[in-house]
Structure 1
Amino acid sequence: MSLGSSHDFFDSTFYERVIELGMQNLEFTSLSDPELVYLFIHDDPDIKKVRKPNTKKVYFHDLSYFMRYVLETSGSLRALHKEDVKRYFYRIKDYKDTTLRRKKAVIKQFLQYIYRKGAIPEDITSEIPGISIDKKQLVNRDFSTEEVEQLLYYFKHNDSFMYALLYTLVTTGMRIKELTNAKWNELIYDANHDAYILQIIGKGDTPREVRIFEEVLESIKKVRQLRGLSIDVDLTDNSAFLPKADGSHYNSDYLGTFFSTKIIKTTFPFVSHRKNKITPHTCRHFTAKYLSQQNIDLKSISEFLGHASVRTTEIYLRRQNLRENLATLKLGKTMFSVK
């Protein structure tokens, strides 16, 4: 097996051959360090949870830096000790807490994987230091109803595509990738609830449903009409829900960047003076906050957004809850009446 370039690590041909011959017949003790990295990247932990290409790229990126450290300090994975692993995390401690936690998870999974496969004699992950997230490092994704309304009004009269995109994101809480992957034939009308429902595939290939309000649907239909596409609900229409000019799907990274750039160009003071730019994910946080303000329970919001844990939803709402619990906000307009 030759792993001469990074592209070779994403070629699944060798892995497919290994599966055909049987993973149990592979002698892991004789494999090189790059081969161990390759197998880990391709060997999905669950047959129904296949790692996406982007996930594999992140794993490869994190492990590439780690393997350089291994080469510099120990020479190989088989000569690596617990203290070496611990020192690596002290070396990279200046990364953001969220990035450190991701790197820790990837490296720990990898080292435990090659231990279980018998490539190294012991589990050397026990000395990896804990990493807690400083909540101050979390991006401020505050986005008020008034700001949303101003942007919707602006785009409604200036840019029908951005109007449809923003309106869809703030009312559904969809991830940008969920929206770009959605198809027109996944839209159904639920007569029992007199509502349009879009069936989407969320993170981890988990199916869920989001409601498409009629005003939002009208904005989508306008875009489709401009593209020369059908606006009738049709289970046979395989075009993208929010399509490009040829009916195909947008790339999620491209559309996310396009969205943020268009927002910045509006030059509203609340846009130009904010510390963090408004992104599709900002809209997702807005949806969570808005639903919470309508007294929707936390579990329902979490399920609606497709969160694997209610804890994630709590983090989304943390800033709002801190503001609402600010003691002096409960006192009315003033504390003293000075005549």
Structure 2
Amino acid sequence: MNVSLRNGTLSFPTSPYDWRDDTLYKQVVAHGYRHIDWERIPDEWLLYLFLHDEPTLGSKRKTSTLKEYFRDIHHFLQYIQQFSPSVRHIHHEQLANYQLELETLAYKPTTIRRKTTVIKSFLIFLYKRNIVHEDLTQSMKRVAVKKEQLVNRDFYEEEVEALLNHFKQHDWFMYTLLFVLVSTGLRIQELAKAKWSGVYYHPDVQLHFISVIGKRDKMREVPLFDEVLDVLVEFRARRGFSSVLVDDGTALFPKPNGDSYHFKYLSNEFTKQIQALADIFPFIKRRMDMEQQMKSDGTPIKFRITPHTCRHYTASYYLAKGADLKAIQDLLDHESSVTTDQYLRRTRKFKDHAAIKIGGTFMN
């Protein structure tokens, strides 16, 4: 399906089209934005053009990102079209009202902030392309998110050890998954995609590493300590795969047939199996009770242990072992040191707490 020219005017197809396909976008770019009569272009095609207008040359948004942007902007356009025939004719007040609408839908502040950021990017795209004639984002309020409203990612060494000891005896799948996550700081998406062929030995530092592709399609090297690699080898052996470091086409953490797990399955299974131990480990029951209490009080802080909790544990563990902020930032593949600092905020908060300075007793 193609765009067409009629008397010098670009015409978009009216029948449904796969918004993930960038074919029409390339045709529009070849034709030139300046030659388009924007008043004749439906809003859904403005959304389509935005999705494929990459902000950085040489980069390409992932399908998951496109899907998220499509969902957020499509919802925004549906709201706008209740009051205006097109996003080209919206009033500043409607943008402020849309943010209030998100609040009435009981979205968390973090979700409202994310959606607001996506909508702002869309509106800036329209302004820079002269599709709208003023910067409408000036009417949108900043969304404050208190640090106390964020997810609580505390994960303590005694908790990690207790879970590892339990899973080592009862569930080698979970034992391997937990051990790899807390020792490497890998994102669950990175672990799911990692290949056995990416493991190699570096003689200069006498340590094994795994090459993974992280966010922004950036490759990095993540250490696999000897005892962690031994557990991985045992897990693979139980599934009939070799311990030899060769390209056998299997995943680092393979299904029984050697294929990769979907990261959402691993994430859900990880959290579910730990939640199931609430009757065995009081700290899991306490987390569940705290989460429920916070929800009842109107402060939906999550305390459950997830794969992402493991990344926070890794950061705290390396900090305790003397690693500096930059080294931890590189290990976890954080684009900004601010993110790493946020990971370590609660660790430092308790370490520097006034009560710690006077010891374990109040009066001697």
User: Which category describes the TM-score, using the shorter chain as reference length?
Assistant: over 0.9
Q: Describe how 1:169-318 pairs up with structure 2 within 5 A.
A: 169-234=181-246, 236-267=247-278, 268-274=281-287, 275=291, 276-318=303-345
Identity %: 41
> How big is the shift at 1:24?
5.9
Which secondary structure does the structure 1 equivalent of 2:181 belong to? helix
> What is the alpha-carbon distance in structure 2 between the residues aligned to residue 25 and residue 183 of structure 1?
47
> What is the alpha-carbon distance in structure 2 between the residues aligned to residue 330 and residue 152 of structure 1?
32
1:32-83: CA deviation from partner (whole Å, max 9, x where unpaired): 1010011111222123321111111111111122112210122211111223
> What is the alpha-carbon distance in structure 2 between the residues aligned to residue 102 and residue 23 of structure 1?
28
> What is the alpha-carbon distance in structure 1 between the residues aligned to residue 54 and residue 73 of structure 2?
16
| Residue correspondences, number | 335
- Aligned twin of 1:324: 351
> How big is the shift at 1:22?
5.5
> How big is the shift at 1:298?
1.0
> What is the alpha-carbon distance in structure 1 between the residues aligned to residue 234 and residue 31 of structure 2?
54
Which AA in structure 2 matches 1:112?
I
TM-score normalised by the chain length of structure 2: 0.87
> What is the alpha-carbon distance in structure 2 between the residues aligned to residue 126 and residue 36 of structure 1?
20
Could you say if the C-alpha distance between residues 166 and 4 of structure 1 is closer, same or farther in structure 2, counting changes exceeding 3 Å? Answer: farther
> What is the alpha-carbon distance in structure 2 between the residues aligned to residue 23 and residue 211 of structure 1?
48
Which AA in structure 2 matches 1:229?
F
Which secondary structure does the structure 2 equivalent of 1:239 belong to? coil
> How big is the shift at 1:266?
2.6
- Aligned twin of 1:85: 95
> How big is the shift at 1:16?
4.4
Which secondary structure does the structure 2 equivalent of 1:260 belong to? helix
Is the 8 Å Cα contact of residues 180 and 242 (structure 1) preserved in structure 2?
A: yes
Is the 8 Å Cα contact of residues 29 and 120 (structure 1) preserved in structure 2?
A: no
> How big is the shift at 1:308?
0.8
Q: Which runs of 5+ in 1 are unaligned?
A: none
> How big is the shift at 1:170?
0.0
- Aligned twin of 1:107: 119
Which AA in structure 1 matches 2:337?
V
> What is the alpha-carbon distance in structure 2 between the residues aligned to residue 227 and residue 21 of structure 1?
55
> What is the alpha-carbon distance in structure 2 between the residues aligned to residue 3 and residue 192 of structure 1?
61
> What is the alpha-carbon distance in structure 1 between the residues aligned to residue 331 and residue 39 of structure 2?
46
Could you say if the C-alpha distance between residues 2 and 186 of structure 1 is closer, same or farther in structure 2, counting changes exceeding 3 Å? Answer: same
Structure 1 vs Structure 2 CA RMSD: 1.9
> What is the alpha-carbon distance in structure 2 between the residues aligned to residue 204 and residue 172 of structure 1?
19
> How big is the shift at 1:241?
0.9
Question: Would you identify which runs of 4 or more consecutive aligned residues in structure 1 move more than 6 Å?
Answer: none
Question: Does 2:167 correspond to 1:148?
Answer: no
> What is the alpha-carbon distance in structure 2 between the residues aligned to residue 92 and residue 65 of structure 1?
10
- Aligned twin of 1:36: 46
Which secondary structure does the structure 2 equivalent of 1:73 belong to? coil
- Aligned twin of 1:132: 144
Which secondary structure does the structure 2 equivalent of 1:200 belong to? strand
Is the 8 Å Cα contact of residues 184 and 239 (structure 1) preserved in structure 2?
A: yes
Please say which of residues 205-214 and 324-333 is displaced more in the overlay: 324-333
Which secondary structure does the structure 2 equivalent of 1:162 belong to? helix
> How big is the shift at 1:91?
2.5
1:143-192: CA deviation from partner (whole Å, max 9, x where unpaired): 10001011111111111111111000000001000111111111110011
Is the 8 Å Cα contact of residues 111 and 125 (structure 1) preserved in structure 2?
A: yes
Q: Which runs of 5+ in 2 are unaligned?
A: 1-11, 292-302
Is the 8 Å Cα contact of residues 254 and 260 (structure 2) preserved in structure 1?
A: yes
Q: Describe how 1:154-173 pairs up with structure 2 within 5 A.
A: 154-173=166-185
Is the 8 Å Cα contact of residues 25 and 49 (structure 2) preserved in structure 1?
A: yes
